[in-house]
Amino acid sequence: MAARSPSAKSAKANAQRGKPRAAAAATAGERSARSDAATAARESELASTVAAALATTLGAAGEAGPAASQSEESGPTEAPVESTTATGAAESSSLAADESAAPVAELPDAEVVPAPPPALRALVSNTASPHKATLVSTGAQPQAPSFGAQPSHPTRSAFPSDPIQTRRLMHRATKIVATIGPASSTPEILLQMIQAGADVVRLNFSHGPADDHRQRAEFVREAARQAGREVAIMADLQGPKIRVGKFENGKVTLTSGEPFILDADCGLGNQERAGLDYKDLPHDLKPGDVLLLNDGLIVLNVQRVIGNEIHTIVKIGGDLSNNKGINRQGGGLSAPALTAKDMEDIRAAMALGVDFVAVSFPKNATDMEMARQLANIAGAPYGIKPKMIAKIERAEAIPVLQGILDASDGIMVARGDLAVEVGNAAVPALQKRMIRMARESNKFVITATQMMESMIYAPVPTRAEVSDVANAVLDGTDAVMLSAESAAGKYPVQTIETMAAICVEAEKSEQSELDKDFLDRTFTRIDQSIAMGALFTAYHLGAKAIVALTESGSTALWMSRHWTHVPIFALTPRVGSERAMALYRNVTSLHLDTNTDRDTALQQALETVVSKGYASRGDMVVLTVGEPMGQAGGTNTLKIVRVGEPY
């Protein structure tokens, strides 16, 4: 038998002597807190996996705790802000199932409870009005009315059942765009996706007839009504995707070094040649050009162009099947951004009442201006002017990015086709540049493509995917997007839950640079000056929240361009504005009828925020409002109040 070392014996003896003292010191509340925290940690297996992977990629940011975050954010003036964030109380490493006492958070009634670890499901309170939205927070789910069958994606929650406590402890600033398709088109799954954290639903017009999109849009609106919050709908146009035609046997296998012809006049392709859906492609090419097929998996070198035939040599071979895409390395193809199909799809999208239109492959500002004109004309009978999103996926768009930003409401970093044209290695730096330029231009930005690709088939993401999502959050993106993961994957609800958890963890390590952001800045508009003043004041005074009464949502957009850890609540009487703000970073949009005098509206706004658990008595809140009420662009007043005190 191996002898115990003296140090081990001593440690055991000390532990035995310390037991009576520990037992005497531990109160019933402390024991309960430890028990609840340990139970909650065990119940959050997926959250633990995500947080562990994220901690590795972010330098264990999740283990640093609130104190570390405050010290990183330079000084005592910022500590109150950190302590007032909705997630601050949960920043301790609560996912580790140790036996230490859990941190505590203060409820409105001063009850002390253990702070829970980050959970996965989204908590959405049902309200009497379908337009009264609540913050998407992870936690235990209330029983929502069902369209029919019971939800097929149950998820255990690591959050307490108290919805007010849950919302105060959890606030996700980064929004989630989820594409719907065969795996997520049923009403039951759509409801679960919205409850899990989907803020915008994407309809991909590259697939499916208009009737399918119409039915899905109706399901989304009904699911949002049941969830008790507004969810925006995005119509994503197909654009001029250049593809090979179909093959006699469905596919061929190309061998390196062998010749292959792309023939605009070919019907069904074979081992020697393939047809083209874009007949003008031969006119855009010259000897020496490089063609990338099937997202760059197959590479062809152009030898010569004879009439409508493009003669190539296979550089990198592989299987080539029907309708695979074609890109020219470096870009430069002349296909227009808006095809005849896109124009028809814009009309169909306006009839559906979509909130955003994403334009594929724009080359310049003119493409976006044309798309906006078409959308505004088509939407006029329905009273709709959608926000326009430019998908940056052409090499030609990079040099004129500022012009495209000026002509758009936001951009999408569409990393798939962009990587094929500019090369994979160039995309990460371009992503950071595009996000920075969009924020500086007061535009929103979505980061997309293969963010959680492995979850099409697997219930958990890879650590590289966790890092990818987290880095996009740290870059400052407004939203991260799911494509096939939610449209055709096996785990659409779990994917959204996991992505939401990653976003929350990444946001904890973000540092505010508000003072730096305001250096050498000039604000020429009154409403923008008020918005920036509210942001600066809330940040330095450690306010619990910013509450903005807004008509168009511009005030909330300006505030959301700067990160402060202070949540922004935008209250508006316009449903269209409420849905548009669903994409703005760190903004929670709520419905409020402002057809009253200013003081009454401010009081109602404060009551709304308090009743939903976002603030409690004694909290400092910064309010912005405009007079006269009901005019877009009229914000001209800033007030600092404490909840429960007269003002």
Q: How far apart are CA 565 and CA 544, in angstroms?
A: 10
Pairing between strand 122-123 and 137-138? antiparallel
Ordered DSSP codes for 413-457: EEHHHHHHHH-GGGHHHHHHHHHHHHHHTT-EEEEESSTTGGGGT
Which candidate in 214, 243, 315, 598 is catalytic?
Answer: 243
Question: Active site includes 394?
Answer: no
Residue type for position 577: S
Question: Active site includes 391?
Answer: yes
Which candidate in 175, 391, 415, 508 is catalytic?
Answer: 391
Which candidate in 121, 168, 202, 561 is catalytic?
Answer: 202
| Rg of the Cα atoms in the chain | 27
Other beta carbons within 10 Å of 337 = 23
Q: Which two tokens stand for residue 461?
A: 């993401």
Contact present, 393 and 431 (Cβ < 8 Å): no
Q: How far apart are CA 177 and CA 17, in angstroms?
A: 56
Return all residues near 206 (Cβ < 8 A) that are at least 6 apart: 236, 238, 241
Other beta carbons within 10 Å of 571 = 29
Contact present, 156 and 165 (Cβ < 8 Å): no
Which candidate in 87, 449, 495, 635 is catalytic?
Answer: 449
Q: How far apart are CA 403 and CA 368, in angstroms?
A: 10
Contact present, 527 and 632 (Cβ < 8 Å): no
Q: b vs e for 428-461, b when ≥16 Cβ sit within 10 Å of the residue's Cβ?
A: eebbbebbebbbebebbbbbbbbbbbbbbeeebb
Q: How far apart are CA 628 and CA 594, in angstroms?
A: 11
Positions marked catalytic: 202, 243, 391, 449
